[in-house]
Amino acid sequence: NAGVTQTPKFRVLKTGQSMTLLCAQDMNHEYMYWYRQDPGMGLRLIHYSVGEGTTAKGEVPDGYNVSRLKKQNFLLGLESAAPSQTSVYFCASSYGGGLIQYFGAGTRLSVL
């Protein structure tokens, strides 16, 4: 019962470095999402995907890129990390829009 798995769990970057966060789901869900959670801000949608090979922007997409080459994987990339991207990142998946989303355990990212 893996559900939604995120790697890594923690990461520290220096300003300007790049990295990729990986999200994998084994529930055959069509939709996948990336959120960031900041204190006092709630969860905010960065990018999402409605199926393999598709991606789209959410509420706060700037500074991030995503790819969904395989249905079960959704990658979030930071090309040039900035301190403002220090946050906890959550991946989620669902069968479709407007339905229950299942979340991964999160990745805590610090950018120095």
Partner 1 sequence: EDKVVQSPLSLVVHEGDTVTLNCSYEVTNFRSLLWYKQEKKAPTFLFMLTSSGIEKKSGRLSSILDKKELFSILNITATQTGDSAVYLCAVDIRDDKIIFGKGTRLHILP
Which residues would be at the binding site for partner 1 (CB under 8 A)? 4, 31, 33, 40-45, 48, 50, 56-59, 90, 97-106
Query: Which tokens go with 99?
Result: 């339905």
Q: Which residues contact 91 (CB under 8 A, 6 or more apart)?
A: 4, 6, 21, 23, 25, 32, 33, 34, 35, 74, 76, 103, 104
**Rounded CA separation 27/111 (Å):** 32
The H or E element that residue 66 is part of is strand 65-67
Query: What is the chain's Cα-based Rg?
Result: 13
